[in-house]
Amino acid sequence: RKEVEQDPGPFNVPEGATVAFNCTYSNSASQSFFWYRQDCRKEPKLLMSVYSSGNEDGRFTAQLNRASQYISLLIRDSKLSDSATYLCVVSLGGGNKLTFGTGTQLKVEL
Amino acid sequence: EPEVTQTPSHQVTQMGQEVILRCVPISNHLYFYWYRQILGQKVEFLVSFYNNEISEKSEIFDDQFSVERPDGSNFTLKIRSTKLEDSAMYFCASRYIAGGPDTQYFGPGTRLTVL
């Protein structure tokens, strides 16, 4: 089983649509969870950390289900500029390495 | 806003040559990392460095690889004898340790091409 598993996509959606990405992780000892965004041939950039209570940042909402080892990201009212690859990332915490999923590609179209 | 910087942005080398990739982490950060991403694949951890020593390394980080913090600002990755399969984007990252989210900030990467 992959350490972090994501649907690779691509997800092609019209501008204004709501889109959801899912991710599962295999190591139940994981303590820190993130969504990073990666544009083509660029570095990963932190989109948001994910907390057990769920958290929201503008149009972005992240959820964590520790029992199911499942993480989600919801993007509302998608913009052309949201087109990127979204990386699900987990860590044991405390400065330990980040473990990346393969990423889900999103293309927002007019 | 402080950021991680990396040089060069692109390095082309012949198989068997040594390369040194350079990184300047964010100034008050204490944990440093190297990751790589082969074209079309996921980002993979190579090594982490704290308190002037390696704290963790992956299976990829074999004897051909080494890291160093030669002064108070630079963090380098050396590949002694490059192979074709070392061609990838190499990202440096850093993290501030005391409290706060367990967040790593990435540099723009060095694209290494081994011919």
Q: Is B60 on the interface with A (CB under 8 A)?
A: no
- The beta strand positions in B1-115, using DSSP E, are 5-7, 10-13, 19-24, 31-37, 43-50, 53-57, 65-68, 75-79, 88-95, 105-106, 110-114
Show the low-confidence residues of chain B (pLDDT under 50).
Answer: none
> So what's the pLDDT on residue B99?
60
Q: Is B52 on the interface with A (CB under 8 A)?
A: no
> So what's the pLDDT on residue B84?
97
CA distance A24 to A27: 10
Examine the pLDDT at A105 and tell me if it is beyond 90: yes
Choose among A75, A107, A109: nearest CA to A9.
A107
> So what's the pLDDT on residue A37?
97
User: Are B50 and A95 within 8 A, CB to CB?
Assistant: yes
Examine the pLDDT at A41 and tell me if it is beyond 90: no
Classify A106 as helix, strand or coil: strand
Looking at every residue in chain A, the average pLDDT score rounds to 94
> So what's the pLDDT on residue A9?
87
Percentage of chain A exceeding pLDDT 90:
86
Digit-coded pLDDT (tens) for A10-31? 999 999 999 999 999 999 999 9
Which candidate in A98, A99, A104 is best for mutational testing of the B interface (most B CBs within 10 A)?
A: A98
Name the helix (H) or strand (E) containing A19. Answer: strand A19-25
Averaged pLDDT for residues A91-96: 84
Picking from B50, B102, B108, the nearest residue to A42 by CB comes out as: B108
Digit-coded pLDDT (tens) for A60-83? 999 999 999 999 999 999 999 999
Residue A8's pLDDT band, with cuts at 50, 70 and 90, is confident
Chain B's closest residue to A86, CA to CA, is: B42
